[in-house]
Chains A and B, each alone.
Chain A
Amino acid sequence: MSASARVSRALALALCLLVPAIAGAGTPPLRVVSINLCTDQLAMALAAPGQLVSVSYLSADPRMSMMADRAAAYPLNHAGAEEVYLMRPDLVLGGIYTNRGSVEILQRLGVPVLLLPPVDRLEDVAAQMRTVGAALGRTAEAEAQVAAFEAALAALRVDLPPVTAAQYHPNGYTTGTGTLADEIMRHTGYANIAARAGVAGGGVLALERLVMEDPQVIVTARPWPGASRSEELLVHPALAALRARAAQVPLADAGWSCGTPAMLAAVAGMAAARRAMEGR
């Protein structure tokens, strides 16, 4: 690694981003492979035609991905070191928690890798779009999309008095303070029950406690095919009784997974549900 790259790496680390060797490269990468659902979304939105070579298999799954149609046009990868290396990428995009083993091998083989942390604040979405835009040499495109995204997000803001709401997922999993979901809920006129109950980040909220908090809105994901005990919780009679008197916002997991413009669908769903409550 060159001295200038080392300096840039130190700078990138200071920004909580790992950007090795790219800053000094000058010319935009020609063969970009993305191995993470969220970087897939940013790359598909920002890359020039032909610049993006492959996205992760998760992006082609409509249950998890908001951009499954577009992802189907790309060869898919499973974030394995061997398959990604054989695609001869000159830039790999991933999340900081994506297949660490594969990423380390790719780095050792000299493949430039850009790792992005998960976004847990609304204001970080634009920053990450700019980071990926810069890495792809598509700064102008990124600026244009950031402007459109921020305008759309601002238009979806709901300034009504907050109603209590909780996200409730299989196994009683919910999202509390310091999460993107919590920020989206606040942006669209809700007070997050889980945050009030002291859940920080993602965590489990016992069904008993959810029942006692008695939220006005319950956000749950649609069940997956096959059966699981984890999802049985979502049809528990106590939760059913709670739902009977609460408003429901059934939303696919896909819209909530990533801090990218693709999440606007989730934001719009929450905002529409909040406004509809006011109309009743």
Chain B
Amino acid sequence: MTLRLAPPLGLLVAVLFAASLLTGPAGLSLADSLGALLAGRGEAAVLVMREIRLPRAVLGLLVGAGLGLAGAAMQGFLRNPLAEPGLIGVSPAASLGAVISLQTGAAAAFALALPLAALTGAGVAVALALMLAGPRGGSFTLILAGIAISALAGALTSLVLNLSPNPYAAAEIVFWMMGSLADRSMDHVALAAPFLIGGAALLLTTGRALDALTLGEDAAQSMGVSLVSLRLRLLVGTAAVVGAATAVAGAVGFVGLVVPHLLRPAVGARPGRLMIASALGGAAMLLAADLATRLIAPERDLKLGVLTAIVGAPFFLRLIWQMRGRE
């Protein structure tokens, strides 16, 4: 089944990735772009293609895939379609970690401090959410916990940025809340990619266990699933993925909500398969959103989270509406 869905989604991601590489204010022709990217022709064009557009497209791909995957994994584990890194406070907490490491100078002292601090923030938020929501993942507690964690993390992020001696820092609150891929470099790719890929790999190992969990905890345990190990892998994997994504791209919400929700009917109630499909879908959604920011208002650095929220929030409301009927 995943086999049926993977090729079209993969093709969509490839097309959007190429479109991301070919879109930009420099107005390079198709031939110049490809010549610069692949053959290294034209000194300035090579810089534009390899140092400006390529990292942006790669980060769009990795961050989107990571967020889609993390959303699907959390929803599978909590058996709750509202579990999404942005909504339950994981992304805002990762932002807080990143901002603290930047403003204390830790990130300048050694580069890995940035993703590690974001990872720590995300990890604390995931742990809190798992603890508060419990293994049953009651929607009410989960969402309330998410609101509280998001509000606290957001407020502390704003506080840290307001106290910064840097006059530009306070203006960047919106980046840490909404996310953007503008002017990222290969340094950011190198910083985030290992954590994104490692975290994603860890999350993918939970597929079989999450599938078993759909039958209920007792059934899963009788099938040999260790809930303790599952929870630990999920926590570390999600923290690594969301932490690294947020450290370089800010907190982009709703990708992990919308994408699994859209793909679930096509995949069936199999969290393992849904994770793979959601990774592809998340990459497509983020690449498309990042393209839209450049096409709608090229000069304004529109924030990614603005577009994902415009698409995602109505989904969220619809999900809540459906749950209201059930509870």
- Closest Cβ of chain A: how far from B216's Cβ, in Å? 46
Residue of B nearest to A223 (CB): B166
Contact B24 A224 (CB under 8 A): no
Interface centre among A203, A214, A232 (most CB of B within 10 A): A232
Contact B48 A238 (CB under 8 A): yes
**B interface residues, how many (CB within 8 angstroms):** 33
A-B pairs under 8 A by CB, number: 83
| In the complex, B224 has a CB within 8 A of chain A | no
- Closest Cβ of chain B: how far from A165's Cβ, in Å? 16
Within 8 A of A (CB), among B84-139: 102-103, 105, 107-108
Contact A224 B165 (CB under 8 A): yes
Q: How many angstroms from the CA of A233 to the CA of B51 in the assembled complex?
A: 12
- Closest Cβ of chain A: how far from B172's Cβ, in Å? 5
| In the complex, A107 has a CB within 8 A of chain B | no
| In the complex, B31 has a CB within 8 A of chain A | no
| In the complex, A96 has a CB within 8 A of chain B | no
Contact A226 B25 (CB under 8 A): no
Q: Is the interface of A mostly helix, strand, loop or mixed?
A: helix
Q: Which residues of B contact A237 (CB under 8 A)?
A: 51, 185-187
- Closest Cβ of chain A: how far from B169's Cβ, in Å? 5
Stretch in A123-131, A132-140, A204-212 with 4+ CB within 8 Å of B: A204-212
Contact B24 A208 (CB under 8 A): yes
Q: How many angstroms from the CA of A112 to the CA of B47 in the assembled complex?
A: 55
| In the complex, A236 has a CB within 8 A of chain B | yes
Q: Which residues of B contact A211 (CB under 8 A)?
A: 26, 44, 47-48, 52
Q: How many angstroms from the CA of A170 to the CA of B175 in the assembled complex?
A: 15
| In the complex, A228 has a CB within 8 A of chain B | yes
> Which of B26, B43, B51, B103 contacts A236 (CB under 8 A)?
B51
| In the complex, A98 has a CB within 8 A of chain B | no
| In the complex, A49 has a CB within 8 A of chain B | no
Contact B47 A238 (CB under 8 A): yes
Residue of B nearest to A205 (CB): B25
Contact A226 B48 (CB under 8 A): no
Q: How many angstroms from the CA of A19 to the CA of B102 in the assembled complex?
A: 47
Contact A226 B299 (CB under 8 A): no
Q: Which residues of A contact B164 (CB under 8 A)?
A: 226-228
* A206-B26, A208-B25, A241-B51 known; A170 vs B168 contact (CB < 8 Å): yes
> Which of A208, A226, A242 contacts B26 (CB under 8 A)?
A208
| In the complex, A4 has a CB within 8 A of chain B | no
| In the complex, A248 has a CB within 8 A of chain B | no
> Which of B28, B47, B166 contacts A228 (CB under 8 A)?
B166
Contact A236 B102 (CB under 8 A): no
Type the 1/0 row for B14-54, where 1 means its CB is closer than 8 Å to any CB of A: 00000000001110100000000000000111011001110
Contact B172 A228 (CB under 8 A): yes
Q: Which residues of A contact B313 (CB under 8 A)?
A: none
- Closest Cβ of chain A: how far from B237's Cβ, in Å? 27
Interface centre among A214, A229, A241 (most CB of B within 10 A): A229
Q: How many angstroms from the CA of A114 to the CA of B102 in the assembled complex?
A: 42
Q: How many angstroms from the CA of A214 to the CA of B44 in the assembled complex?
A: 7
Contact B165 A226 (CB under 8 A): yes
Residue of A nearest to B298 (CB): A206
Q: How many angstroms from the CA of A40 to the CA of B25 in the assembled complex?
A: 40
Within 8 A of B (CB), among A158-217: 170-172, 203-204, 206-209, 211-212, 214
Residue of A nearest to B180 (CB): A229
> Which of B53, B108, B301 contacts A227 (CB under 8 A)?
B108
| In the complex, A26 has a CB within 8 A of chain B | no
* A172-B183, A226-B103, A231-B168 known; A209 vs B26 contact (CB < 8 Å): yes
Type the 1/0 row for B51-83, where 1 means its CB is closer than 8 Å to any CB of A: 111000000000000000000000000000000
Within 8 A of B (CB), among A225-277: 225-233, 236-238, 241-242
Q: How many angstroms from the CA of A207 to the CA of B47 in the assembled complex?
A: 10
- Closest Cβ of chain A: how far from B187's Cβ, in Å? 7
> Which of A212, A224, A229 contacts B45 (CB under 8 A)?
A212
Residue of A nearest to B51 (CB): A238
Contact A227 B166 (CB under 8 A): yes
| In the complex, B325 has a CB within 8 A of chain A | no
Q: Which residues of A contact B169 (CB under 8 A)?
A: 226-228
Q: How many angstroms from the CA of A170 to the CA of B183 in the assembled complex?
A: 11
Q: Which residues of A contact B105 (CB under 8 A)?
A: 227
| In the complex, B265 has a CB within 8 A of chain A | no
* A204-B299, A212-B44 known; A230 vs B168 contact (CB < 8 Å): yes
> Which of A203, A226, A236 contacts B183 (CB under 8 A)?
A236
Q: Which residues of B contact A227 (CB under 8 A)?
A: 102-103, 105, 107-108, 164, 166, 169
Residue of A nearest to B167 (CB): A224
Contact B299 A231 (CB under 8 A): no
Q: Which residues of B contact A208 (CB under 8 A)?
A: 24-26, 48, 52-53
A and B contact pairs by CB, cutoff 8 A, 12 listed? A170-B168, A203-B299, A212-B28, A212-B44, A212-B48, A214-B44, A225-B165, A225-B166, A226-B103, A228-B164, A228-B166, A228-B172
**Which 10 pairs between the two chains have the least Cβ-Cβ distance?**
A226-B166, A228-B168, A208-B26, A230-B168, A238-B51, A206-B25, A227-B102, A226-B164, A226-B165, A225-B165
